Amino acid sequence: MSLDLRKIIERHQGEQLSLLSQYINPQMAKVLKTIGFDPVYVRGKGAHLWDDRGNEYLDMISGFGVFALGRSHPKVKEAIRQYPRVGPVPTW
C-alpha cells in the first residue's frame, strides 16, 4: 500500500486550522483566527500565500522552520524529490 500524500491533502482541504489546533499548536490556531489569518490556503511560495478565492497574502508571521527558507523553496523541493532515490527508508 502506497502513501498518496496529494489525496490526503485534498481530502483534508479546508480543515487546516482545525488540524493545527487539534494536533500541532492550539494557541497559534487561536492567534491566526483572531487576526483573520485563517483563510483556506491552497498554495504558497516564498513568503506569499494564496487562498481558495485567488487572494494573495504576504505572510509576515514568524516562528516555524518554513520561515527560514519560505515555502516551495526549489532546493528543498529537489531534496525531497531525491530522497526516495537515496536508499531504503529507515525502519526505526
Q: Residue 20 has which C-alpha cell?
A: 493545527
Place of cell 525531497: 80
Q: What is the pLDDT of residue 38?
A: 83
Contact 53, 39 (CB under 8 A): yes
- pLDDT (tens place) for every residue of the chain, 92 residues total: 566 777 888 888 889 889 989 998 899 899 988 988 888 888 888 888 899 999 998 887 765 656 566 677 788 788 777 766 555 555 55
**pTM for the full predicted model:** 0.57
Q: Residue 16 has which C-alpha cell?
A: 487546516
Q: What is the pLDDT of residue 62?
A: 60
Q: What is the pLDDT of residue 18?
A: 92
